[in-house]
Structure 1
Amino acid sequence: MSPTAAPAPSVRTPSEPAPAPRGRRAHSRRRHGAGAWAVAFAFLTVMAFATVPAPLYVIYQARDGFPTFTTTVVFAAYGVGVVVSLFLAGHLSDVHGRRPLVLASVAIELVAAVLFLVWNDVAGLVVARLVTGLGVGLVTATATAHLAELRVRATGSSDAARGASVVAGAVNLGGLSLGALVGGALAEFVGQPLVVPYVVIVVALVVAFVAVLAAPETVDRSEQPVPYRPQRIAAPEGQAGAFWAAGVAAFAALAVQGLFTSVAPTFLGTTFHVTDRLAAGATTFGVFAASALSQIVFARLSQQRQIRLGLVLLVGGLVVLAGAAVFLQVAGFIGGGVVAGAGVGLLFRAAIARAGSLVGPEQRGGVLAATFLVAYAGLTVPVVAVGAALLVLPTLPVLLGYVVFVVVLALVAGTRLASRAG
């Protein structure tokens, strides 16, 4: 009898469940399911920390007497941190694993929270926000990919990746909404408004770090050293049109969010004379909560319909917001922002999902990092431009110009994205 040839070694992509004996399969699935919850909590906490200072800027500004432009510089430092982190390390989870980078992100945010507590003059705020951005840039693409892979392994079905993308988008924007509300509420009702919010975040980050330690890894690391290179902002081969349509649509979506996490409290104070810290936080919360909720409510729509509905809501909401600013209707300003936020959620999720679908799991972290890199430029560049314009122009013309810019950009990019979506 001739000898039987040895079977060829199998190649397992990061999103495929590892073969396991039946007796261990149920335990493995439960472990991956619990890991998904742990990563989602860490992702939520990191993103919440990003907006905790938003309703506190007016307190810093009143205490130190700096102009609105300084507020935009402090906020821009966060955006710069995100972009630098995405450029240098956002793709490294494809090589070194998802869990180490999620843990590194949480650790960086702990450093940032301590900086807010011990160094809270203007220079300290800039440094702390820069460090915050570094942690956020590290976690966005990594946690998005990690959640999808954990859910696939927990369920044994590749279809779970779509549901995980909904969860990742909702956690991303939901965390941003929660942070603003928590920061505003603690600042309004608890003593030491520039201390207590950061202490609460420190506790949450420590819990998140411990939880992620138990989460399974989903990437098989190469045994051979992989040369380091920064993230390339390049489309996958043959997918340039789809990649850039997704990136610019995400840029436009986050440009709306940037307005409400940086200078919206100033607009409320100067135009509508609303100086309540909880109101400032609740306004930002409403915009981001609508972004997260719309992704869940309309998750069953096709990607093309989500984009089109998102454009209608985003453009309609911004038109209402601009009209309310002209006619001094604070309810219309906030309501328009919430409606626009719902549109942002749909457009942003569709853009990220489209970008992630362009490649296989082995390249997904890098492509998502590149897309987030383009998107977070929308959170930074337009806001700095607004801050600079406010040095020489009244508030209302600056706001209206910002709205026109975002509307045109969203319509152009969103229309192109919808034409390429299924």
Structure 2
Amino acid sequence: MASVTALRSRRRLPVLGRRGAFRLHASTLVALLAASSAPTPMYALYQAAWHFSAMTLTVVFSAYVLALLVALLTAGTLSDHLGRRPVLAGALLAEAVAMAVSAAAQGVPELIAGHSLQGLATGVATSAAGAALLDFEAPDRPGRAAVANGIMPVAGMAVGVLVSTALVQYAPAPTRTVYLLLLVLFIAQAAAVRLTPETARTESGTWRPIRLLHLLHLLRPTITVAPASRPGLALAAPGIVAAWALGGFYSSLGPSLARLIAPHAAHATGGLVFFTLTAAAGLAGHAARALPARTVSLAGAALLIPGALLTLAAPHLHSLLALFAGTALAGAGFGGVTQGALRLLLRPAAPGERAGSLATYYALSYLAMSIPVVLAGLLTNLYGLQASVALYGATVVALTLTGLIRAAHLPHKA
């Protein structure tokens, strides 16, 4: 009997230490955001095969984002209460199912269903994985987790769109291959998460039927920000909204803009627009990791203005060079905004406030990403892509200027 107990005890022991667990959760964020950007180069293939409009394209894109918002607002804090491991492992398995649904899609309804399930799973998983990064941060390297939370998502988006672009160009059946590779990756990560130590102070018995009402209470829509983090969020919010709105434009309509400028360019060109944005964001975030968070956030917001203006000018100049240059500037701004904002938000948060604060950040980000994209799709249908680009760019510039002017009047401590 004692040997059986000892065997069970050994089975429960985590295999991965602090460093291994940190790397695993960082790779999980990369994979989740890679999956979110992977469809971007394939949208042109879907449009050619299924003959749908720009408005339908933005609806497909927004299905993911809106489902993610629902998950963030209802289940973003679950890992603070139920534990990082069960919540993250379950979300990753749901992500794998979403990949299977998208791989099997034969039309727009199935694609929307796959993207919606993916959004729900990603909303739960990103807040849990991001909070776990803070939990596993090495004591001798403070701030590393906040930097990783800023860099890994944009690095994931860059990797996802680059790999997907290559598969679209060279692989057979890319609209299935991409999702099947991600499916295998998510299953492997879900298994690996079970080998990490549990870091959240879970509430014993939460999973028992008697606590079902308590679980439903946890799933009510909430916005949670650590009190110490609120001044930082107030400072960074306009830049966050402007950056993610611009990111949504490049993700959904960037390939269409590239085709408008260069109709005979390779399909890969459209995917490379979003890759340029995310690669520049990742490099900028990494380069700025040692600078003060407030400075990085505001400098990133300022870079969004020339990026948006140059992108706005590209169709009139009939220049792919102008498009990619504007995208790179916007990407550097995006990286600065996200890096600075996450450091302002996460550093003051207590351990039990981390997942909720992250969920609020992502909710604000994806809300800013989805609503303007749907409006841009509608405007594109009514007035054409160039008019939509002009209004989108002008809105981002106006919002960014408003945020910078407001920040100049806030106390420096914010």
Given that 1:248 and 1:375 are in contact with CA atoms closer than 8 Å, whether structure 2 keeps it comes out as no
Q: Is 1:126 matched up with 2:109?
A: no
Q: Identify which of 156, 161, 165 aligns with 1:175.
A: 156
Q: Residue 20 of structure 1 corresponds to which residue in structure 2?
A: none
Q: Identify which of 68, 85, 90 aligns with 1:104.
A: 90
| Structure 1 residue 341, shift from structure 2 partner | 0.6
Q: Identify which of 63, 77, 81 aligns with 1:91.
A: 77
C-alpha distance in structure 2 between counterparts of 1:207 and 1:220, whole Å: 25
Cα shift readout 1:85-110 (whole Å, capped 9, x = no counterpart): 10110111111112222212211211
Q: Residue 413 of structure 1 corresponds to which residue in structure 2?
A: 403
Q: Identify which of 382, 387, 391 aligns with 2:377.
A: 387
Cα shift readout 1:366-385 (whole Å, capped 9, x = no counterpart): 12212211111011000000
| Structure 1 residue 309, shift from structure 2 partner | 2.1
Report the more deviating stretch, 184-193 or 350-359.
350-359
| Structure 1 residue 204, shift from structure 2 partner | 1.8
Q: Identify which of 139, 148, 158 aligns with 1:156.
A: 139
Given that 1:247 and 1:375 are in contact with CA atoms closer than 8 Å, whether structure 2 keeps it comes out as no
- Residue pairs, 1:3-14, within 5 angstroms: none
Q: Residue 393 of structure 2 corresponds to which residue in structure 1?
A: 403
Q: Residue 198 of structure 1 corresponds to which residue in structure 2?
A: 179
Give the length in aligned residue pairs.
391
Report the more deviating stretch, 171-180 or 349-358.
349-358
Q: Residue 13 of structure 1 corresponds to which residue in structure 2?
A: none
Assess, with a 3 A threshold, how the Cα gap between structure 1 residues 173 and 219 changes in structure 2: closer, same or farther. Answer: same
Q: Identify which of 44, 52, 63 aligns with 1:77.
A: 63
| Structure 1 residue 249, shift from structure 2 partner | 2.7
Q: Residue 33 of structure 2 corresponds to which residue in structure 1?
A: 47
Assess, with a 3 A threshold, how the Cα gap between structure 1 residues 417 and 231 changes in structure 2: closer, same or farther. Answer: farther
Q: Residue 23 of structure 2 corresponds to which residue in structure 1?
A: 37
Given that 2:146 and 2:346 are in contact with CA atoms closer than 8 Å, whether structure 1 keeps it comes out as no
| Structure 1 residue 210, shift from structure 2 partner | 2.2
Given that 2:229 and 2:344 are in contact with CA atoms closer than 8 Å, whether structure 1 keeps it comes out as no
Q: Is 1:145 matched up with 2:131?
A: yes
Q: Residue 252 of structure 1 corresponds to which residue in structure 2?
A: 242
Query: Aligned letter for 2:385?
Result: T
C-alpha distance in structure 2 between counterparts of 1:103 and 1:28, whole Å: 14
Assess, with a 3 A threshold, how the Cα gap between structure 1 residues 296 and 29 changes in structure 2: closer, same or farther. Answer: farther
Q: Residue 294 of structure 1 corresponds to which residue in structure 2?
A: 284
Q: 5+ unaligned residues in a row in structure 1: which ranges?
A: 1-26
Given that 1:49 and 1:201 are in contact with CA atoms closer than 8 Å, whether structure 2 keeps it comes out as yes
Q: 5+ unaligned residues in a row in structure 2: which ranges?
A: 1-12, 207-213
| Structure 1 residue 408, shift from structure 2 partner | 1.7
Assess, with a 3 A threshold, how the Cα gap between structure 1 residues 58 and 308 changes in structure 2: closer, same or farther. Answer: same
| Structure 1 residue 414, shift from structure 2 partner | 4.6
Given that 1:246 and 1:355 are in contact with CA atoms closer than 8 Å, whether structure 2 keeps it comes out as no
- Residue pairs, 1:285-364, within 5 angstroms: 285-364=275-354
Query: Aligned letter for 1:312?
Result: A
| Structure 1 residue 242, shift from structure 2 partner | 4.0
| Structure 1 residue 364, shift from structure 2 partner | 2.0
Q: Percent identity?
A: 25
Given that 1:231 and 1:370 are in contact with CA atoms closer than 8 Å, whether structure 2 keeps it comes out as no
Given that 2:280 and 2:329 are in contact with CA atoms closer than 8 Å, whether structure 1 keeps it comes out as yes
Query: Aligned letter for 2:297?
Result: I
Cα shift readout 1:306-351 (whole Å, capped 9, x = no counterpart): 1232123221211221122221111111111111111111111212
Given that 1:245 and 1:414 are in contact with CA atoms closer than 8 Å, whether structure 2 keeps it comes out as no
SS of structure 2 residue aligned to 1:392: helix
Assess, with a 3 A threshold, how the Cα gap between structure 1 residues 93 and 231 changes in structure 2: closer, same or farther. Answer: farther
Q: Identify which of 163, 166, 169 aligns with 1:185.
A: 166
Cα shift readout 1:39-59 (whole Å, capped 9, x = no counterpart): 111221111011111110110
Assess, with a 3 A threshold, how the Cα gap between structure 1 residues 238 and 204 changes in structure 2: closer, same or farther. Answer: closer
SS of structure 2 residue aligned to 1:390: helix
C-alpha distance in structure 2 between counterparts of 1:110 and 1:140, whole Å: 15
Q: Residue 18 of structure 1 corresponds to which residue in structure 2?
A: none
Q: Residue 365 of structure 2 corresponds to which residue in structure 1?
A: 375
